[in-house]
Amino acid sequence: MAAYMITSTLRRVLLVAKHASFQSRCCVASSRVQYSTVYDSNEKTFDKILIANRGEIACRVMKTCKKMGIKTVAVHSDVDASAVHVKMADEAVCVGPAPTNKSYLNMDAIMDAIRKTGSQAVHPGYGFLSENKEFAKRLAAEDVVFIGPDTHAIHAMGDKIESKLLAKAANVNVIPGFDGVVENVEDAVKIAGDIGYPVMIKASAGGGGKGMRIAWNDDETREGFRLSSQEAASSFGDDRLLIEKFVDNPRHIEIQVLADKHGNALWLNERECSIQRRNQKVVEEAPSTFLDPETRRAMGEQAVQLAKAVHYSSAGTVEFLVDSNKNFYFLEMNTRLQVEHPITECITGLDLVQQMIRVAKGFPLLHKQEDIPINGWAIESRVYAEDPYKSFGLPSIGRLSQYQEPINLPKVRVDSGIQEGSDISIYYDPMISKLVTYGATRAEALQRMEAALDNYVIRGVTHNIPLLREIITHPRFISGDITTNFLPEEYPEGFKGHQLTSEGRRELVSTAAALYVSAQLRSQRFLGNLRVSTTPQEQRQWELCVELEKGSHTVAVSRSGSTFTVEVDGVTVEVSGEWNLASALLPVTINRTPRVLQCLSRDAGGDITLQYLGTQFKVRVLSQLVSTLSAHMPEKVPEDTSSILRSPMPGSVVAVSVKPGDVVAEGQEICVIEAMKMQNSLIAAKAAKVKSVHCKAGETVGEGDLLVQLE
């Protein structure tokens, strides 16, 4: 488990890792530098490690443990009994029912699992107990190693109020704000007024965007205090809040640090995390397009100063806000493995989980600061079971009826903890995977990400691939001109999916027509022969009507082998492909441009749903006769949504603010729904009297359930 490298300043022997699968995705070569992680079986660490987590991060830790020859123990709730991380582990222990406070946050049950299995160390992953100092103390009391920093560092950096004071003392740039705990809502309003709007209200013990609100006036401060304190109590068991100045139009750039127990500390370059929704990251990349070498070094050195100030030992992340003038301010330090750590692994060649395990055992770091390279470019897209058309992503639940990762593509890495048949439940984070692509340049990494998203098959739940693909192909993102306000600025009316150009519309119409004809031709054959021997010669030309987005196109289709020539709107489009209707993917060439579409559904009535450039489009292909007759069919009248309030997501009802007979104003809060530990305030669409209430606090509701009806 040693790591070796060759640089212009340091010559060592490069050892080739036995397990090349991780290397092929994370370790790359340039003309100057080659950096490779090697797993040395002679360097003894632990015999058995328990991973106190679930999903993709539990699987990620187990992969490295297996390469290091370490046995692994999984913990799971009863609903996770068949989860991938459970199957991957050498042993598994059930620690309780589905709710996190009764399972993955149940310290007593996890401690029992440690004793039962004889685990020598615990890796907490991220979230859950990863930054819980009490858990670390209990492990230490039983001589079990916590693979992370000591309790002092967890406490100091986990408390945002104390961490800010320590950062100041360590000469780290900090955001102006109030250094104490906000006592109550009126105290919050006074403090916000003293600092000056806008302000950021956030949980002192928080992270991951939970318990965080931006307020631009007194009313928003009152609402933000209430919702943030409730989220903080629910997510972290600590409702303390702090308030600081909100830096408008910032970039969110973080520095990965790595430190050992011998006083050595390194910064492993930066990650750009500015693409966010509700203060939660969506797309990350390393390095940042914005930083110059001087700013990168200054940020890295301040991050190391802070780590050394709290005697930090493990992998950790120091987050900064960076303004347009490259002034940077300390935001927080995450004393754990960060979700987006794979992109750092790609550009440095280091296995951060291996480094954490070595440090926890007491080994010193093998590298110096000058040894740390930036090789190429890596981009990570967080693939969620979310509906991107609702507030850029509200949770979706369901079973993965079909699931296929694009790992057949070069330089693509997928960190996931699910498989076909897995359930995405209401109880846990809706992340499906972390999709990572690597390239020698940013343009190459982006091109690979585009292809990976097109080739990613996810059926059974709503997902955010439409949003991810639009982001990584957006001209502003490609140029690197981004801030944390990217999404609301570019989609002020909300995300609407890919907007078709006239050329894109013709491509989609032509592909749908070709697919329809292919299906018709296949239905006429059995075992390669025509079903009826007296059937006349195969048809080679068709006149069709294709309906798309309330528009109708008359198209003429002709066929030659696997190539279809489609005339639409006076323009000829040539579409060719294998037309394997049983495949989840539909690779085609449209006017010599390769595309990968997905046929999500089709029926005998000509209704086809295609995923094109990431977005789902409903298309109807009809013969000319059927099209003429369909014009006489009655249309379904859409529901009047202004008089009813339905749940936009599955979740639990936290509070109901109205009762029958109440008069509500437009924009007034009706109820609060909590999903995946995030609280969402639902408001009235118009001023009216409440006719009926169909929910109460504590109930579980599904997406689309009727909550309140107005007169």
Least confident of 191-205, 290-304, 403-417, 696-710: 191-205
- Asked whether the predicted pLDDT for residue 22 surpasses 60, the reply is no
Taking alpha carbons only, the member of 131, 104, 96 closest to residue 50 is 104
Provide the pLDDT confidence category of residue 176 given band limits of 50, 70 and 90: confident
pLDDT at 441: 98
Maximum alpha-carbon separation in the chain: 90
- Asked whether the predicted pLDDT for residue 500 surpasses 80, the reply is yes
Contact 163, 206 (CB under 8 A): no
pLDDT at 2: 35
Contact 200, 335 (CB under 8 A): no
pLDDT at 649: 85
pLDDT at 566: 97
**Percent share of the chain, pLDDT over 90:** 72
pLDDT at 35: 40
Question: In angstroms, rounded to a whole number, what is the distance separating the alpha carbons of residues 573 and 565?
Answer: 6
Least confident of 187-191, 265-269, 585-589: 187-191
Provide the pLDDT confidence category of residue 383 given band limits of 50, 70 and 90: very high
Provide the pLDDT confidence category of residue 537 given band limits of 50, 70 and 90: low
Residues sharing a CB contact under 8 Å with residue 191, sequence separation 6 or more, in sequence order: 178, 182, 199, 243
Mean pLDDT of 117-124: 98
pLDDT at 18: 28
Provide the pLDDT confidence category of residue 3 given band limits of 50, 70 and 90: very low
Taking alpha carbons only, the member of 479, 473, 429, 482 closest to residue 453 is 473
pLDDT at 535: 53
Mean pLDDT of 247-258: 93
Least confident of 448-452, 551-555, 585-589, 679-683: 679-683
Question: In angstroms, rounded to a whole number, what is the distance separating the alpha carbons of residues 111 and 699?
Answer: 32
Q: What is the DSSP string of 354-406?
A: HHHHHHHHTPPP---GGG----SEEEEEEEESEETTTTT-EE--EE-SEEE--
pLDDT at 436: 98
The residue among 554 and 209 whose pLDDT is bigger is 554
- Asked whether the predicted pLDDT for residue 514 surpasses 90, the reply is yes
pLDDT at 254: 98
- Asked whether the predicted pLDDT for residue 20 surpasses 80, the reply is no
Instruction: Give the helix/strand (H/E) hosting 602.
Output: strand 593-602
- Asked whether the predicted pLDDT for residue 205 surpasses 90, the reply is no
Cβ neighbours of 364 (radius 10 Å)? 12
Least confident of 82-96, 346-360, 515-529, 618-632: 515-529
Q: What is the Cα 33 distance to its own chain's centre?
A: 31
Least confident of 53-67, 151-165, 344-358, 534-548: 534-548
Question: In angstroms, rounded to a whole number, what is the distance separating the alpha carbons of residues 610 and 608?
Answer: 6
- Asked whether the predicted pLDDT for residue 400 surpasses 80, the reply is yes
pLDDT at 162: 87
**Percent share of the chain, pLDDT over 70:** 92
Contact 378, 385 (CB under 8 A): no
- Mapping DSSP to helix (H, G, I), strand (E, B) and coil, where does residue 550 land? coil
Question: In angstroms, rounded to a whole number, what is the distance separating the alpha carbons of residues 560 and 431?
Answer: 44
- Asked whether the predicted pLDDT for residue 617 surpasses 80, the reply is yes
pLDDT at 41: 80
Mean pLDDT of 488-494: 95
Question: In angstroms, rounded to a whole number, what is the distance separating the alpha carbons of residues 422 and 571?
Answer: 45
Separation in Å, CA 162 to CA 167, 185, 333, 411: 9, 21, 11, 41
Mean pLDDT of 678-700: 90
Provide the pLDDT confidence category of residue 38 given band limits of 50, 70 and 90: confident
**Main-chain dihedrals φ then ψ at residue 345, nearest 5 degrees:** -60, -35
pLDDT at 526: 65
pLDDT at 29: 32
- Asked whether the predicted pLDDT for residue 105 surpasses 50, the reply is yes
- Mapping DSSP to helix (H, G, I), strand (E, B) and coil, where does residue 136 land? helix
Q: What are the tens digits of pLDDT across the range 72-94?
A: 999 999 999 999 999 999 999 99
Separation in Å, CA 486 to CA 171, 248, 252, 279, 480: 31, 12, 12, 12, 11
Provide the pLDDT confidence category of residue 245 given band limits of 50, 70 and 90: confident
The residue among 220 and 678 whose pLDDT is bigger is 220
Mean pLDDT of 355-361: 98
Separation in Å, CA 406 to CA 410, 433, 438: 9, 12, 14
pLDDT at 486: 96
What are the catalytic residues?
336
Contact 427, 98 (CB under 8 A): yes
- Asked whether the predicted pLDDT for residue 49 surpasses 90, the reply is yes
Mean pLDDT of 171-180: 85
pLDDT at 630: 81
Question: In angstroms, rounded to a whole number, what is the distance separating the alpha carbons of residues 182 and 159?
Answer: 13
Mean pLDDT of 94-100: 95
| DSSP 8-state secondary structure symbol assigned to residue 100 | G
The residue among 319 and 242 whose pLDDT is bigger is 319
Residues sharing a CB contact under 8 Å with residue 570, sequence separation 6 or more, in sequence order: none
- Asked whether the predicted pLDDT for residue 531 surpasses 70, the reply is no
Residues sharing a CB contact under 8 Å with residue 161, sequence separation 6 or more, in sequence order: 179, 180, 181, 204, 240, 242
Burial of 20 (0-12, 13-18, 19+ CB in 10 A): exposed
pLDDT at 237: 73
- Asked whether the predicted pLDDT for residue 25 surpasses 70, the reply is no
The 3-state secondary structure of 274-308, one letter per residue: EEEECCEEEEEEECCCCCCHHHHHHHHHHHHHHHH
Cβ neighbours of 370 (radius 10 Å)? 11
- Asked whether the predicted pLDDT for residue 222 surpasses 70, the reply is yes
Mean pLDDT of 631-653: 84
Q: What are the tens digits of pLDDT across the range 318-345?
A: 999 998 889 999 999 999 999 999 999 9
pTM for this predicted structure: 0.83
